[in-house]
Amino acid sequence: EKLDLLVVHDLFMTETARVAHYVLPACSHLEKWGIAYTYNVCHCLPYLMLRKKCIEPLNESWSEWRFLTELAGRLGLSESFPWKTEEEFVSFMIAPSGLSFDYLL
């Protein structure tokens, strides 16, 4: 109520989404490439797992990569988000591990 504008990008209609001025539909984990980290299962096992996109985004949902890339472009910040594909974005996130997208694929 105190915000001039609240935009939510989420998969679910959360309490925050209910009071938002705009709700932008997000993709599920099945509609985008991603990474599953150790904290999802157990803190004691050092691993990461590539999550493969199974289906195209449903309806008007967008992945975080698409949302951030589009927003950056409209704000004149495209150079800060140079990835042309979701796969490139995931490769960038994986890079600090020393592993490659192709290796995990």
Predicted structure pTM score: 0.76
* DSSP conformation class of 6: -
Residue where the block lists tokens 């591990």: 97
Q: Where are the domains of the chain?
A: 7-104
Cβ atoms of residues 63 and 86 within 8 Å: yes
By the 10 Å C-beta count (0-12 exposed, 13-18 middle, 19+ buried), 2 is classed as exposed
Number of H helices, E strands in the chain: 4, 4
Residue where the block lists tokens 């290796």: 103
For the chain, 105 residues long, give each residue's pLDDT as a single digit of tens.
Answer: 789 999 999 999 999 999 999 999 999 999 999 887 666 556 666 677 889 999 999 999 999 999 999 999 999 999 999 999 999 999 998 898 888 889 988
